[in-house]
A = this chain, B = another copy of it.
């Protein structure tokens, strides 16, 4: 496809027209680390959200789900250091108060404020810190970068980007955190997407689901799912484009731009996985249907043994076949082709003799590509993950809650 959009240098969640942000050190985490932030639009937004499938949901998730029934929201307040999960009824009361405090700063109605939290489960929010901290926040047009830092927990780098459409000129920005998709208490996935495009609410919901399915839902660090996972998309319409709805001229460009932005953020998350030394991209071709392709790709990229072998630069392809074999997907051993980058390891289920040193070299890079063809159909999917190092264990066993 001809490019109809491009990434903006140093793009952030405040790149789209009318969005501003700010953050502060409220003292929820250790001293002098940004841990509380606000992202807000000066104009009302239509808004959509996707949330954790965990049966145990943090209070901010419950609050967001309630408020998004209206299809509108203009502001998000986020804290790191405390998940506000599993503390009983106090959680929802605190989340509601936090939204109210942020509404004063952003000068919006409290009902238009969404809330997100990430950090330790089972401890109440330190409300005194949040009350005092909130008053220190100043919103500015270039505050996106500060917001990105305030969301980090064990993240080692902020994750943010923005894309601009060539023709209509609308911008989509985004900020994410997470160093597993999916770590229940210190690496929740949070992602806030913003756009100045004018978008029909139903299409906004549809587009967000589509984009998440090819990006955040295809990332796996460790198979655990957080109680707090939240992806939000707010559109304020300030770009003045014709409203985008299903089938409209800009619908496809908007979807493609949103997909690529989300894939970019998802890959940033996988690359920054706890203890990760490299990004792994697994593509499954020739699957009977898309669901099978997705499941096979996710299973391979999630396998601890595949991840550990790639960490050790070991071209131990038997682990890859064994992982796809247990994925629940139809696999006919005698049809499977397997590649590491451009090196064929297995053809029609039989090992091919290959240059071991070359394979080790391909593994010893910052991005490793595994491509599999099941040769059973025409569906394909790509998943991203990271290798498994001793450091992952160290981080998750020594972390002081």
Contacts and interface: CB of A to CB of B under 8 A. Distances in A.
Interface of A: 53-57, 83, 85-88, 120-123, 183-185, 222-227, 303-305, 308-309, 311-312, 314, 316-319, 321-326, 329-331, 333-334, 346, 349-351, 388-390, 392-394, 396-401
A137 B326 CA distance: 35
A329 B53 CA distance: 12
A53 to B, nearest CB: 7
Nearest to A332: B55
10 closest Cβ pairs, A-B complex = A121-B318, A312-B397, A184-B322, A56-B325, A308-B396, A390-B390, A225-B326, A54-B325, A55-B331, A88-B350
A24 to B, nearest CB: 26
A389 B399 contact: no
Given A184-B319, A305-B184, A325-B54, A401 B331 contact: no
B314 A222 contact: no
A54 B319 contact: no
B333 A56 contact: yes
A393 B390 contact: yes
Given A224-B304, A304-B223, A184 B318 contact: yes
A331 B227 CA distance: 13
A385 to B, nearest CB: 13
Given A185-B305, A224-B326, A393-B311, A318 B122 contact: yes
A206 B86 CA distance: 42
Given A305-B185, A393-B392, A401-B314, A326 B54 contact: yes
Contacts of A83: 318
B309 A396 contact: yes
A123 B351 CA distance: 8
A222 B390 CA distance: 15
Contacts of A57: 325, 333
Contacts of A390: 390, 393-394
Contact of A322 (B225, B311, B312): B225
B121 A321 contact: yes
Contacts of A53: 326
B122 A351 contact: yes
A86 B55 contact: no
Given A314-B397, A397-B311, A397-B314, A55 B184 contact: no
A333 to B, nearest CB: 5
B351 A87 contact: yes
A351 B86 contact: yes
A343 to B, nearest CB: 14
A266 to B, nearest CB: 19
A374 to B, nearest CB: 10
A242 B300 CA distance: 50
Nearest to A394: B390
Most buried by B among A185, A226, A346, A389: A185
